Structure 1
Amino acid sequence: MSCSLKIEIDRWPLKKPFVIARGSRDETETVTVTLSDGEIAGRGEAVASPRYDQTSHSLAAEIETIRNLLEQGLDRLELQQVMRAGPARNAVDAAMWDLEAKRNHQDVGQLSGMGWPEGLQTVQTISILSPEEMGKEAGRLAGFPVLKVKLDAKLNCERIAAVHGNAPQSQLLVDANESWTLDILREVAPQLARLGVAMIEQPLPAGADEPLRNYASPLPLFADESCHSRADLAGLGEKYHGVNIKLDKSGGLTEALALRAAALDQGFDIMVGCMLSTSLGIAPALFAAAGARYVDVDPPALLAKDRKHALKIENGRVSRLSPALWGGAV
């Protein structure tokens, strides 16, 4: 069935600067896709990544290239063939799921076979600051069962010691965002293991992580930038214990669910993550999170302003997804 396409770019302020190894930001920008058949509309959201030389305008232009196909009735499976994996396809894929659910009077949980997400627990992220500042932030978040700590190439043990000292009951995950070398990993991993850290995410740059194949890590390593879709799994088995599935990398829920199934079949642990998106961008990811070892969908707690019917996060517990936000049946 044919439909019309609308593309919007919006900015959303953050409560405080978000700082990782690649830089800092005080707002996030989203690309929203709306597909409408004149009576029913489905929505999806994407966030561009400077890591991949993307901008909101480049994503919008990529989506524009398939406008005619969408308006002529392109379906979700055909979409996988005409668009590459990435955030542009994610926004369209999510809008298709939303529209399909409403047209069929079923919710996305029923359509996907994953059920409606309930009772999910997310990590809460601590940005890169001084050890003292990170310790104070950890104290404020000490009620969260799992904290994800952003790190770069400096003061790693000092920062983790400050976080652990102020949130001793919290399990800690470390995300280096490709900023380490193998020497740094060898030096700090044993110390981090003694400071409450349970996992290290993407320590080495994607494309330069081959040394991990011969490294016996004292902590599980998870691939983020090294794993986008099922095509990446073949080269990861001897380097990583788990993979972080993000819909803006996989190109949407359709591929994310297939990646999840393939990764589990090959013995990987699963983490479901996200970009710095609104609750609309988070919603589809919740359907891939069933059974995941870690769920990282905390942006609703980081935004100063969010969508209507937004998700809420309290001590790591994600509120029930409102069908009015995304994925509900009409």
Structure 2
Amino acid sequence: MSSQPRLRLSLRNEPLPLAHPFRISGYVFEAMPATVVTLDDGTHDGRGEAAGVYYLDDVPERMLATLESHREAIEAGLSREDARTLLPAGGARNALDCALWELESRRAGVPVWKLAGLDGVGPLLTTFTVGADEPSAMATAAVAYAQARAIKLKLTGDADLDAARIAAVRAARPEVWLGVDANQGYVPDTLQRLLPALVAQRVSLLEQPCRRGFETDLDGIDHVVPIAADESILDLAELEQRHHHFDVINIKLDKCGGLTEGLMIARRARELGKQVMVGNMCGTSLAAAPAFVLGQCCDVVDLDGPIFLARDRTPSVRYDDGMVSCSDEVWGPAAAA
């Protein structure tokens, strides 16, 4: 354990209602509850937020209980590497890891990105996500994202309806980079039917078509567009096991357990010849800020989570001309306590 002063751990869950219901394959969300961790050493503090992994039942109530069960070890003072050993990958470790990063940043008086070994940070082109709906409604939503230069569509696994959705959005926004996310909704036969529509509509990314644990469904599938792993690859260990099925690895801090492991996955994915993507749940800017640091290393950025909330934190990440930016005031040495 670290030789730093003893910490005081504060935990709370927040409901984080969405501005509007959001539909993906198999789920409709009206809120994205989150667990918030604060670590205080009497002089400095650090915060982390996590929504967990809903499809693994990694929800805030469980995260809170997990962190509470390790209170003594956490308050004794621990490093980020200690946290990787103490807790499994998932939301609880993400919130703790991010709080430790901010605490370290404030103690050192330098931004998190510098601690992470980056030379600097800048605005990132981000996707703006359109939830699954009728084709005309999705086209209307895509038009409403007037500033967007990259759009990601949620699909539901009905190849004909999904093809119509893609065509409607492409007709409405012919100029944008377009990706689709099936959220495990496809099997080989239906996926084969969808592929021509992806090519015809100039889709640049197909995210998680197969069910988690059924990655062999992709054997024999022509990668006419790059295929990204989301639910299939949670952490560094699963990257080693399953990377060969995919072209792109979508890293989410809630899945892998924090920025520490997220950066490790990005480096290893590069070594394996993969493209790297960063995504997020519908969390606040406090959750988006650590992912923004990771996004500096990524080919595809999907950090639009805060725009879906009824209310975000202040200060917040900013969206301008299709880009997301995040100042050190949001999360780091200059942030308000």
TM, length-normalised to structure 1: 0.96
Residue 164 in structure 1 maps to residue 170 in structure 2: yes
Q: Which runs of 4+ in 1 moved over 4 A?
A: none
Structure 2: gaps spanning 5 or more residues: none
Partner of 2:332: 327
Residue 33 in structure 1 maps to residue 37 in structure 2: yes
Contact 2:147 2:320 in 1 (8 A): no
Secondary structure, aligned partner of 1:236: helix
Secondary structure, aligned partner of 2:180: strand
Partner of 2:286: 280
Contact 1:121 1:295 in 2 (8 A): yes
Contact 1:289 1:295 in 2 (8 A): yes
Q: 1:325 is matched by which residue type in structure 2?
A: V
Secondary structure, aligned partner of 1:225: coil
Q: Percent identity?
A: 36
- Over 3 Å counting, the alpha-carbon distance change for 1:94 and 1:290 in structure 2 is same
Contact 1:149 1:173 in 2 (8 A): yes
Contact 1:142 1:170 in 2 (8 A): no
Contact 1:213 1:238 in 2 (8 A): no
Q: 2:237 is matched by which residue type in structure 1?
A: A
Aligned residues: 329
- Over 3 Å counting, the alpha-carbon distance change for 1:126 and 1:315 in structure 2 is farther
Distance in 1, Cα, partners of 2:17 & 2:321? 22
Q: Which moved more, 1:133-142 or 1:41-50?
A: 133-142
- Over 3 Å counting, the alpha-carbon distance change for 1:263 and 1:137 in structure 2 is same
Partner of 2:232: 226
Residue 50 in structure 1 maps to residue 54 in structure 2: yes
Distance in 2, Cα, partners of 1:142 & 1:217? 31
Distance in 1, Cα, partners of 2:284 & 2:100? 18
Once the two structures are superposed, residues 139-177 of structure 1 have per-residue CA deviations (whole angstroms, 9 ceiling, x without a partner) of 222541110000011211010011101011011100000
Residue 178 in structure 1 maps to residue 184 in structure 2: yes
Residue 213 in structure 1 maps to residue 213 in structure 2: no
Q: 2:267 is matched by which residue type in structure 1?
A: A
Distance in 2, Cα, partners of 1:152 & 1:137? 17
Contact 2:207 2:230 in 1 (8 A): yes
Q: Select the residue among 247, 251, 260 that pairs with 1:245.
A: 251
Secondary structure, aligned partner of 1:162: helix
Partner of 1:198: 204
Partner of 2:143: 139
Q: 2:296 is matched by which residue type in structure 1?
A: A
- Over 3 Å counting, the alpha-carbon distance change for 1:160 and 1:27 in structure 2 is same
Q: 1:32 is matched by which residue type in structure 2?
A: V
**Matches of residues 305-316 of structure 1 in structure 2 within 5 Å?**
305-316=311-322
Q: 1:82 is matched by which residue type in structure 2?
A: L
Partner of 2:64: 60
Contact 1:98 1:108 in 2 (8 A): yes
After TM superposition, give the deviation of residue 211 of structure 1 in Å: 2.5
Partner of 1:96: 100
After TM superposition, give the deviation of residue 202 of structure 1 in Å: 0.4
Contact 2:152 2:179 in 1 (8 A): yes
Distance in 1, Cα, partners of 2:309 & 2:46? 23
Contact 1:142 1:167 in 2 (8 A): no
Distance in 2, Cα, partners of 1:107 & 1:141? 31
Partner of 2:112: 108
Residue 148 in structure 1 maps to residue 152 in structure 2: yes
Distance in 2, Cα, partners of 1:195 & 1:143? 21
Contact 2:53 2:90 in 1 (8 A): no
Contact 2:228 2:248 in 1 (8 A): yes
After TM superposition, give the deviation of residue 232 of structure 1 in Å: 1.4
Contact 2:277 2:299 in 1 (8 A): yes
Once the two structures are superposed, residues 110-148 of structure 1 have per-residue CA deviations (whole angstroms, 9 ceiling, x without a partner) of 111124421111100000111111111122225411100
Structure 1: gaps spanning 5 or more residues: none
Q: Which moved more, 1:30-39 or 1:116-125?
A: 116-125
After TM superposition, give the deviation of residue 60 of structure 1 in Å: 0.2
Distance in 2, Cα, partners of 1:11 & 1:32? 11
Q: Select the residue among 308, 318, 324 that pairs with 1:318.
A: 324
After TM superposition, give the deviation of residue 289 of structure 1 in Å: 1.1
Q: 2:167 is matched by which residue type in structure 1?
A: A
Once the two structures are superposed, residues 186-209 of structure 1 have per-residue CA deviations (whole angstroms, 9 ceiling, x without a partner) of 111122111121110000001011
Distance in 1, Cα, partners of 2:275 & 2:11? 35
Q: 1:207 is matched by which residue type in structure 2?
A: G
Q: 2:57 is matched by which residue type in structure 1?
A: D
Distance in 1, Cα, partners of 2:184 & 2:296? 27
After TM superposition, give the deviation of residue 14 of structure 1 in Å: 2.0
TM, length-normalised to structure 2: 0.94
Two-structure CA RMSD over aligned residues (Å): 1.4
